[in-house]
Amino acid sequence: MMRLGDIAVAQGGWVGPKSADRVVTSAVIDSRDAAADCLFFALAGDSTDGHRYVDNVLQNNGMAVVSRGKKREGIILVESVEQALLDAAQWRRSNIRSRIIAITGSSGKTTTRLFLAAALECSYSVYSTSGNLNNHLGMPLTILNAPEEDPDIIVLELGMNHAGELLLLGEVASPSDCLITNIGHAHMEFFDTIDDIARAKAELIRTTATGGL
């Protein structure tokens, strides 16, 4: 069970005392998806700013993580909403006892994830990434929205286009096992050589549990 106060502590943020025991049932970054007891991360994007929709979320009995505005009930006030999303996911991950398999690669990530999840579902309870939620916003949302009762296995898809990204995502996901589908020329505009891409993909191995596959 996720409580607003516990999430606030994990993020190093402020939360009103009357709201600390509120139960969070899901997390979103799109205010249109926010419902009662949902936690909305008010991220600033290229075309809009999530802070504009916080009042609507609160009126629908939701909660929000913000980086500016006055302190009030139902709000977690932090320095950075984006960092708070990662911190919340890392805290949630620390309370999950499932075996977590993280998948990355230059191509074939989604197909591999779908096939692997389908195969594992024959014998285990499985929760996995949906859609293309594989970046620094989507992956932490996947973890935060994991079932309250730990599934046997969680399959996560992780994407990257710069060095250091998989190290960051891997530290949050803390995988039991990892799988790199291949090393290709995708995102070469951000790397000098194919070996640089290989090194960036290998960051996921460094975050995989000792003894993992």
Which residue is listed with tokens 């309370």?
Answer: 95
Give pTM, 2 decimals. Answer: 0.94
What is the pLDDT tens value at each position of the chain, 213 positions in all?
899 999 999 999 999 999 999 999 999 999 999 999 999 999 998 888 999 999 999 999 999 999 999 999 999 999 999 999 999 999 999 999 999 999 999 999 999 999 999 999 999 999 999 988 899 999 999 999 999 999 999 999 999 989 999 999 999 999 999 999 999 888 788 888 999 999 999 999 999 999 999
57: left (phi over 0), alpha (psi -120 to 50) or beta: alpha
Structural domains for the chain: 2-81 (3.40.1390.10), 96-206 (3.40.1190.10)
Which residue pairs, CB below 8 angstroms and at least 24 apart, start in 37-42? Answer: 37/61, 37/62, 37/63, 38/62, 38/63, 39/2, 39/4, 39/7, 39/63, 39/64, 39/65, 39/144, 40/64, 40/65, 41/65, 41/81, 41/84, 41/85, 42/66, 42/67, 42/81
